[in-house]
Structure 1
Amino acid sequence: MPMDQLSPTRLHPRDVLQVGAAGLRTRPLRAVLSALGIAIGIAAMIAVVGISSSSRAELDRTLDALGTNLLTVSPGDTVFGEDATLPREAVEMISRIGPVEQVAALGAIADAHVYRNDRIPQAQSGGISVQAAHLDLLRTVGANIAQGVWLNASTARYPAVVLGATAARRLGIGDAGPDLQVYLGGRWFTVIGILAPVPLADELDAAALIGWPAATAYLAFNERPTTIYTRTTDSAVEAVRAVLAATANPEAPNEVKVSRPSDALAARQATDRAFTGLLLGLGGVALLVGGVGVANTMVISVLERRAEIGLRRSLGATRGQIRLQFLTESLVLSALGGLAGVLAGAAVTALYASTQAWPAVVPLWAMVGGIAATVLVGAIAGLYPAIRAARLSPTEALAAT
């Protein structure tokens, strides 16, 4: 058969992979360092996405446990810019709304402060608010007692107080009991309980809670609610929200603020997502730097392996096969870095989530996207070196050795 009719032998995909990986095996340290740049970029991106997803999963779990059907009512401002007030009958009127299942209120006692003892200067109040509380408060807001007990019909009438988690920490109190007292409103109150942190009503964390009757008897409380918590049926949340202001204060509904605590948690998560976008950008920069490192490695590899290229061309390898060899080498190098980065990012996510008691979540799309990104970077990084290697003629390559 004439020479000009001979067709080059086609390489099997397995052969292409073996030939492409051969260059990496001969220079393992350089290959590892180049792949490390890719791995760092992918690990950073996977960890950021994973931690953000784990945080959202924890938020969803919290909201599933606490519910999204809690609404709060509080006084706003009058038309003259002054602080408005709610009627004393607001809680009773809200409880008459059909879909409302639970109602409880707080009443702020502005002139009362709480101290660890009676020798602390009055100005050092520690930012702890004193609140009169309804007995149904815990059940309504989904709070739990960490130490001691909650107020009941008896203790609500006497100088007994339940501290929020932050308030207890600021006062240096770690337990509750009949022999433990704080100086509240000019008299001693017994600490009967300490609350666990309340996600949907974090204002309770820095509060000292006393019974409604005790607040009236000992602290001249005016019995006006300042925050009303309302639980509704899930299907009627928006309908109840629309009528709460007019129900709480029929004479001035525009002076009433109605909010949904779960919306605040979701807004906080949206802020976290914006920060996540910034971190993803930084991870992309690291990935770009890693791609430059791969390109540099491949260019140097072409220069150092001219003799190999010339020998293979002399033995019948086509330009396309040479190009495919070096492109495969770049892809393998990047894919190994990407796989290592995905595993490292998932490990970082799992470790961080375990320290926060979150569910560890790494989205499948992030892992697949990470590998795809490394393949793309490898293809771009290896394209020029592969084309340059393929353009070398056998005589030119052999003469350069």
Structure 2
Amino acid sequence: MPGGTTPPRPVRLSVLDILGLGLVGIRTRKARTVLSALGISLGLATMIVVTAIPASSQRALLERLSALGTDMLRVQPQPGHDPPVALPAESLAMTGRIGPVTAVSAVANTHAEVHRSDRYDRADYTGLSVLAAKSDLLPLINGRVAAGRFLDRGSGDFPTAVLGSVAAARLGFPGIEPDAPAPQILIDHSWFTVVGVLERTPLSPDIDRSVLVGWNPARAELGFDGRPTVIYVKAEEEHIEAVSQVLPATVHPELPGMVTVSRPSDALTAKQQTRSTFSALFLGLALVALLVGGVGIANTMVISVIERRREIGLRRALGASRGQIRLQFLTESVVLSTLGGLAGTAFGVLAALAYAAFHQWPVVVPLPVLTAGLSATVLVGALAGVYPSVRASRLSPTEALGASA
């Protein structure tokens, strides 16, 4: 160089200096900052909500299934056959001999009609089933008595009845008063005393619509032949699949193909899976919202470069390098998206907490979603700031100062 002088080198900026320069545009344009970050916030908040709510719902369902019993199987003949397939009377005892089976009970359809009193129209049919039930049925279906008591050995040989929740409402007996005379109902041509009302049984909705009578009174009063219609089986949970495979041949050795074995808890699980399908759709919409928020930030940064050309030219004239200019605007874009991401995380978590509390679910906010969401917002902010930062760095001092004059 002439005269032995060297060109001035740009001052190296520290991380705090770069962060301070990146915050200049955010501090001076607060309204635009809020609106730009809003798109990112809504996208991330939606992403958190549509993952946290199904997770909380699934946890609540799993807890509910565990309480109700995921170790229960339901065995019954295949419907639609004429004449109907009947299970052998000894099938209950044969089922109890399976090694991993811990408990077994049954109900049987007596095909009797039930009415509130003897003063009824012959055309008036309540649509309720009268089931003969074993006295040990209630623990197997995880049922609970809402009022009165269940069929027991003391009353099992007498004409007593227990009403399911729907049956009790239709017959007009919502409860049993302890000090009042026990109500009676007419089943076919015999009077039965109502001794209890059950709570709703989620895994056995047919019980809700039934009137349960003792096994022996059903034989004596209703002509019941002692052949079960539905057998409920509880087995060790780790062997539940193996038990389900041997049950048809055990219950009906002559016609095992005419016997179906189901796991009632699977219906609730399938319902949860359907709900998860819709959650995937909403998650896709959340990602689109996040992308739209990134486009909004890019637009804001481009406008910011145009409006701040004088500042860019002045900094370039004072010795700032192109790399420092790029870093300034890229930092501003990343900070803007990070602020939006933090706000969106807070909104999403609060919304998920409120929704779970309203439905009395356990609160589950997946940590990987929070981490991935915040990382995605930073990445979107970086990508959104690439073009504006490169454009700003390419402005020469004379061009930038001349355009703003």
**1:170 & 1:24 partners in 2: Cα distance?**
66
Equivalence for 1:223: 226
For 1:304 and 1:4, the matched residues in 2 are separated by 34
Indicate if the aligned counterparts of 1:51 and 1:349 stay in contact, CA closer than 8 A: yes
**Cα deviation, residue 204, structure 1:** 2.7
Q: Is the 8 A contact 1:116 1:171 kept in 2?
A: no
> Which residue number corresponds to residue 147 of structure 1?
147
Please name the residue that 2:38 is paired with. Answer: 36
Aligned with residue 331 of structure 1, among 316, 329, 334? 334
Q: Structure 1 residue 319 and structure 2 residue 319: aligned? A: no
What is aligned with 1:69? 71
AA aligned opposite 1:104: S
Decide whether the 8 Å contact of 1:20 with 1:328 is kept in 2.
yes
Code of the residue aligned with 1:28 in structure 2: it is: K
User: 2:59 is matched with which residue: 57, 60, 64?
Assistant: 57
* Aligned-residue offset at 1:50: 0.6
- Contact 2:72–2:264 (CA<8 Å) still a contact in 1? yes
For 1:13 and 1:117, locate their aligned partners in 2 and report how far apart those are by CA, in whole Å: 90
Q: Aligned-residue CA RMSD in angstroms?
A: 2.8
CA distance in 2, matches of 1:14, 1:118: 90
- Give how far 1:168 is off: 4.3
Instruction: Give the drift of 1:249.
Output: 0.5
* TM-score relative to the length of structure 1: 0.89
Deviates more, 1:242-251 or 1:283-292: 283-292
Q: 1:81 to 1:64 in 2, by over 3 A?
A: same
Partner AA of 1:306 in structure 2: R
Instruction: Tell me if structure 1 keeps the 8 A contact 2:185–2:194.
Output: no
Give me the whole-angstrom Cα distance separating, in 1, the residues matched to 2:182 and 2:172: 12
Cα displacement string for residues 101-148 of structure 1 (whole angstroms, at most 9, x for unaligned residues): 1001121244535669965885663x5443222111111122222333
Shift of 1:214: 3.4
Q: Determine the structure 2 residue equivalent to 1:87.
A: 88
Tell me the equivalent position of 2:361.
358
Q: Secondary structure at the match of 1:240?
A: helix
Structure 2 CA distance for aligned equivalents of residues 117 and 51 of structure 1: 52
User: In 2, Cα distance between the equivalents of 1:290 and 1:184?
Assistant: 68
Moved more, 26-35 or 260-269: 260-269
Letter in structure 2 aligned against 1:161: A
Q: Is the 8 A contact 1:114 1:128 kept in 2?
A: no
**Residue equivalent to 1:298:** 301
> SS at 2:377's partner residue?
helix
> Closer, same or farther in 2 for the Cα pair 1:19/1:175, shift >3 Å?
farther
Q: Is the 8 A contact 2:9 2:319 kept in 1?
A: no
* Structure 1, unaligned runs of 5 or more: none
Partner of 2:343: 340
| CA shift for structure 1 position 25 | 1.3
Give, in whole Å, the separation in 2 of the partners of 1:305 and 1:83.
Answer: 85
Structure 2: distance between partners of 1:317 and 1:261: 71
Q: CA deviation at 1:247?
A: 0.8
Report the CA distance shift for 1:77/1:4 in structure 2 as closer, same or farther (over 3 A): farther
What residue number does 1:133 align with? 133
1:6-62 deviation per Cα after TM superposition (whole angstroms, max 9, x unaligned): 432222122222211221111111111221111111111111111111122122223
Describe the superposition over 1:279-318 as per-residue Cα deviations: whole angstroms up to 9, x where unpaired: 1112122222222222222222222212221222122222
Are 1:15 and 2:45 counterparts? no
2:379 match: 376
Q: Select between 150-159 and 181-190 the one with higher mean Cα deviation.
A: 181-190
- The 8 Å contact of residues 70 and 229 in structure 1, kept in 2 or not, is answered as yes
Could you say what secondary structure the match of 1:59 adopts?
helix
Whose radius of gyration is greater, 1 or 2? 2
Counterpart-to-counterpart distance in 1, 2:14 and 2:45 = 33
Q: Count matched residues.
A: 399
Matched, 1:281 2:280: no
2:212 pairs with 1:209: yes
Q: Does 1:175 align with 2:178?
A: no
Which residue does the alignment assign to 1:232?
Answer: 235
8 A contact 1:129–1:207 mirrored in 2? yes
Q: Is this contact kept in 2: 1:108–1:130, CA < 8 A?
A: yes
CA distance in 2, matches of 1:202, 1:393: 77
Matches within 5 A, 1:248-267: 248-267=251-270
Instruction: Tell me the TM-score normalised to structure 2 length.
Output: 0.88
Change (3 A) 1:249 1:295: same
Q: 1:173 to 1:342 in 2, by over 3 A?
A: farther
Gaps of 5+ in 2: none
- AA at the equivalent of 1:291: G
From the superposition, tell whether residues 115 and 343 of structure 1 become closer, same or farther in structure 2 (CA, over 3 Å).
farther
Shift of residue 326 of structure 1? 1.4
- Cα deviation for residue 215 of structure 1 reads 3.2
What amino acid does structure 2 have at the position aligned with 1:10? R
Judged with a 3 Å threshold, the aligned counterparts in structure 2 of structure 1 residues 307 and 230 are, in CA distance, closer, same or farther, namely: same
Separation in structure 1 between the aligned mates of residue 78 and residue 328 of structure 2, nearest angstrom:
72
Query: In the aligned structure 2, how far is the partner of 1:399 from the partner of 1:120?
Result: 99
SS at match of 1:73: strand
Q: Is the 8 A contact 1:35 1:294 kept in 2?
A: yes
Residue 106 in structure 1 maps to residue 107 in structure 2: yes
| Counterpart code for 1:153 | R
Aligned partners of 1:181 and 1:188 also within 8 Å: no
1:161 matches 2:158:
no
Partner of 2:393: 390
Cα distance change, pair 182–35 in 1 and its aligned pair in 2 (3 A):
farther
Q: Which moved more, 1:158-167 or 1:179-188?
A: 179-188
% identity of equivalent residues:
50
